[in-house]
Structure 1
Amino acid sequence: MGAPNSANVSVGKPQAAGGIWFGPLTATTPTDPFSELVGFTGGGYVSEDGLVNGIEADTENIVAWGGDTVLTVKTSHTETFQFTFIETTADVLKQIYGPENVIVNMETGVLEVRHTAKDLPRVQYVFEILLTGNKVKRIVIPNGQVTEIGEISYVDGETIGYQPTLSAYPDESGVTAYEYIATTVEEPGE
């Protein structure tokens, strides 16, 4: 590790085209920071709280005769991502309530949303983040599922937000999330 370098300190904000994308497990999973997201849908605006990535691990100590801890083993690993959609669209609502529970009547323009207790399907998520210094970060969740929904408040003067917790499950390689970081050729947004 070299000397500290302030050029490596960054903030994260969404790409101009949107920071959160989702698609079916059958969509082509991106394997780099720049490839086109074929088969993915943008989630629109997200609240100023941004994206929170939680990683939890439980461990168990192995204790030898005599009381010494001789080994600590990981017994579980959980990775989640949490954010708040602030656009009310059919695509966003399908992520919150399930694709079969959001019906768009093309003739009348009425959007019907059914609240059920069914588990939501597994999907892929991609988070596109602009970093300081002409850098980009793409986080890819190849096997995720919305497992929790935060409270939805309807308050005068506040946006309506839909806050999913996305659980990231291991793919066939045992990986829950991939991060790709690169320097861009031009200023982001140009």
Structure 2
Amino acid sequence: MKLIILLFLSSLAYGQDYEFINEVINPYDNGNPIPKDSIYLYHNFIPLGTQYLSKESINEKSVKLWWNEIKNNQPPVELFLENFNLEHLKSDIAKSQNDSIIDFNKLKKYFHRSDTKFLNENPRNNITYISKPYFNCKKDWALIVTSTYIPYINTSSGGLMHIYVKISGKWILYYQFTLWTG
């Protein structure tokens, strides 16, 4: 019975990840060489906790440093820190490393799978890398890390952390900041 409950809870969390991705990552708009209704995602999630966003860097001091990178019109970091337990985040990141392949069957039709072969054959398309989404305990705050790679000029846009809050059943971008530059 415990195994069935664990599998059920695991599938609920898995479904929530994709619902969140579908809601917050929208098709590209102007200025891109690909159709506006397409997003080419790399087939694996960004491996947070290893190469990107190490466990050591997930602490209040680092978050405040990243947050204060831009001075104009930023929302209070304290509200995020009050609602998002960073130790819980570290634990979730460590647990999530086992399942890194994106399930495209759970995503909207404008998401398209890309890999190294696709990159070589379609150098004019921007490729988006995403992390798994991570939620606070109440599931009303979430964050996701994104990065875009532009093959034809062999450059990355760097890594951005997007922080969302759920208001009236809809995810709203609270703040975003740069984690690394390309």
Report the TM-score, using the length of structure 1 for normalisation.
Answer: 0.30
Q: Say which one has the larger Rg.
A: 1
More helix by share: 2
Q: Which has the higher strand share?
A: 1
